[in-house]
Amino acid sequence: MTQPLSLPIADELARRGIRPNRRLGQNFMIDRQMLDFLVRTAGVTDRDIVLEVGTGAGFLTERLCATAARVVSVEIDAGLFGLAAERLAGFGNLTLIHGDALAGERAWGEPVAQAIDRALAELPGSPLKLVANLPYSIATAVIQVVLESDSRFAGAWFTCQKEVADRLTAKPGTDDYGFVSVLADLLADVHFVRKLPPSVFWPRPKVDSAIVEVIGSEAKRSEIADMDALRRGVSFLLTRRRKQLKASLKGLEASADRARRLGEALCKLGIRDDERVFKLPPKVLKVIAEILF
């Protein structure tokens, strides 16, 4: 049974003239137990630096500030930023940023990146974690940046639409299998923690949500020789996901040496060139990207 927060958020937002923005995916987690569960699942301690994307009214933020060494929280909505700034003014370990968390598709916005760098410099050796009730509209993009970031994240624990969780954990040959599935598999260990009903949020979304854990793997990351080549290669192949491999590669200007190396690698992996692209495991897509891109 949900235990809603005592703060009448709907009344407070109405008083300030703020309405939840569906375009921005603003659904506030109002269940105390789930907020506490998310912080516990992330294993937040007084050594951790935590990035939160989507401050909202600050319900999760205040729990993070009470537990972590440093919290960087970012909110794009001016009204919510003002509300959170008032509610969280007593926390000296919080850097609250008004703006977009992302700069394009593959990088943090400059204020966010600078705040992370400052925290890491001031607290050397502290684990960096993402813990957030992610806005639905940017959840996938945020996780891609966490996975590719030069600032190594110890892990990410977050809520998202269940369909995003399904894509992150999708296996080859399924409809949900795509770019983020491959990237997550090659760079991290991903776990579906639990499904969340609409009742733990306000306003209630029309879909189920989930809590997901993404633990970065240095061992996996060390096997990626060229991140840009991996990104370009996997993206190229998966835009042709239903084609046979040989057809999807048609038109690429590969040297005789690269073609030979690719043929040998696929043979060694037991992959035929008439296999459909979306059925190829991440490690096979990685090999193709490394050789051809």
Dump pLDDT digits (tens) for 124-145: 999 999 999 998 889 999 999 9
pTM of the predicted model, to two decimals? 0.91
Number of folded domains that form the chain: 2
Residue 20 covered by a domain: yes
* Helix, strand, coil fractions of the chain, as percent rounded to 5: 45, 20, 35
- Host domain of residue 203: 9-221
Lowest mean pLDDT among 25-29, 184-188, 244-248: 25-29
- Return phi, psi of residue 196, to 5°: -120, 130
Question: Residue 225 — pLDDT band, cuts 50, 70, 90?
Answer: confident
Beta strand residue intervals within 82-205, DSSP E: 94-98, 128-133, 155-161, 188-196, 201-202
Mark whether 203 and 276 lie in a shared domain: no
Dump pLDDT digits (tens) for 77-94: 999 999 999 999 999 999
Lowest mean pLDDT among 29-38, 109-118, 126-135: 29-38
Mark whether 187 and 253 lie in a shared domain: no
Dump pLDDT digits (tens) for 172-202: 999 999 999 999 999 999 999 999 999 998 8
Q: How many CB atoms lie within 10 A of CB 218?
A: 8
For residue 2, pLDDT over 60 is answered with: no
At 15 the pLDDT is: 76
Residue 59 covered by a domain: yes
Q: Give residue 197's identity as a one-letter amino acid code.
A: P
